[in-house]
Structure 1
Amino acid sequence: MIRERGLSVRVKLTLSYAGFLLVAGGLLLAVVWVFLLRYVPSGPISGDGPFIPNRGDLVRAFVPPAAWALVFLLVFGLVGGWILAGRMLAPLARITAATRKVGEGSLSHRIDLEGPDDEFRELADSFDAMLARLEAHVAEQQRFAANASHELRTPLAISQTLLDVARSDADRGPDPLLDRLYAVNARAIELTEALLVLSRTDRRAFVREAVDLSLLAEEAAETLLPLAEARRVVIETDGDVTPAVGSPALLLQLTTNLLHNGIVHNGPDGGVATVTTAIRREAAVLTVENSGPVLPAPLVATLTEPFQRGTERIRADDTGVGLGLAIVKSITDAHDGALDIVALPEGGLRVTVQLPRRPRPAARRPTVVT
């Protein structure tokens, strides 16, 4: 939901403080004015004796200082209100910073608000407790996925070995059912490995190193060249040295998944898959673009969800397990990067990954205004 940008709470509080002080000062001056009017005659005073001012003299003597007093109260109220509002809203700034970090995927961040047990402290403690429960729940899900994937690897590997032995038996003739079981088992192994990679990247359990994205692009192209030739897809790579920081293995997995996606979801009669790397300001950019049929925008928006495929692009042979782009998004998020998927007007996709060229500095606690 798009909303118009309004005044900040600090500005509203400042204006409220200044307005209240101005009204209070005006009322005070009005009371003084009414009090003085009771003892000052309305007309001129004639006769000998000491000078007695009339109301005209009172207006000339009282109104200018009163106006300057109101101006002073207005300035004082604005400056003082701005300072007081900043001190009052300092805990809210820390809570806002914490919500942004959580939105970026940092569930381990806590507010740890100090100070008296007031409404802000109660809100911060409730938020920290919610984050603790959410982090524990997510960690439990990740451990379950990792443990289940790990436990499934052994029986699937044994089944694959038995199927290899059965298929290589010279006394056994061609068996379509055996070939079908072999393909299903191989697909289950791919799914298990993909789930294991996905659970590891979600935990960010890897060491960050210097890596060149252009070399990873070339390695992925060489690895997938036989698949591309079988599908009559031309692989094009372009880009100079593109340094980044991250896990070489995971970033190679990311590049391979993107290029594999560009090959298997290309046009039915072949096409082109292009991998380019570049440096843009403080980011290392990897772009994979492929030809293919035109995709609707609502479908493109769901492609990074697990087990979600572009149904119009599915082919019967080797289309993957539906976790390719989900793994790409997970690896990108784990490297504090940004992923952008755009459907091309002429057909196909353009996937852009932006990664930091240097490690992100450690998170600093927001400064509290005192």
Structure 2
Amino acid sequence: MTTATEATVATALKSLLNEQTTVEVRPRYEGSNICTWIGFKHVNYLVEEAVLHHFRTAGLPARGLYEEHGLGLDFVDLDTRILHAFHMDDAAQALVVPDTAEDASVLGFRVTLCVERDGSSLKAVTSKVKVSLRPDGYLDRTAETPQELAPFTVARLGAHTETRPGAVPDTGPAVGTTVNTSLSYGRGTTGEEDPVLAQLTRDANAFGWKWRIPYPYCHFTERLQMSGYLRQMEEVVDLFLADRGISIRELLDERRWIPVVPQSRIRILDEALMEEDLYTVYTVESIFKDFTYTSRMDCYVVRDGKLVKTATGKITHGYAVIENRRDWSLVNFDERVVRALGGEPAER
């Protein structure tokens, strides 16, 4: 016999999978770091908010999924293109369109953000989003998952990427570690003095960073969430540019140049837990016509003496020159920037 709760969940899931939703979203003040422009991280936050509203409207809010069914709502894939810049106080109209294949093991959505410019509505952002439902593994391991939600429920984040039943996460070779991320280290450790970082960055145009995962980057009591990885991607870029001699502050002061991001993507492959050491490797993959460069971010933890990759992502950057308090325009890289991105000593 179908219970009232099961019937309610079935109706809500049908709405989630078939009906479009719209909502007005605004970027947070925190995301305006240079003049009034909003960075890529907070643009992705708007995408997340639109999808969360979609779940709420369908009758499956993140809070209810967790408190009533013991299911954490986790963003596991976020692929976003930014077509027009967002500014402080912009109001975006977000459209969420369900995009879940019939036999999919993950919930999919397409999100479009439109913003008004000079009386016209411009398509500013497009994003592809995937969501998994993860049973609570910390407080209650006995909650029963509603039958309708079972196809989208995973015992471990990243399981949707596996192609064989019962697959276990791929692990890397055995590694040696050093304990060097105590609180006194602040932002963590970089460089070849750490054996894991040395192994991960060897013979590559890459920068490595080891850092203890703090609780504000986590959710559902134990694991690093997608927004935490977005923050990680933003910060590893900052550290990479400083390490290459072209820090954000330096190019701002010298040239009024700022990094701009037309595209970013992050995929969660496994779980990273609160207070684990996260090894983040940022690798420059290509430079396109001295105009944009694309880098890959790979994140790992060490478990049982072996590397486990927990996330991977890509981000494309260009540079823009600040023309005034309202406007900027894209510029080509000069030799100094090209050399630094390519791994050669930066020349001032």
TM-score by structure 2 length?
Answer: 0.26
Higher strand share: 2
Q: Which has the larger radius of gyration?
A: 1
Higher helix share: 1
Structure number with greater CO (CA < 8 Å, separation at least 6) is 2
TM-score by structure 1 length?
Answer: 0.25
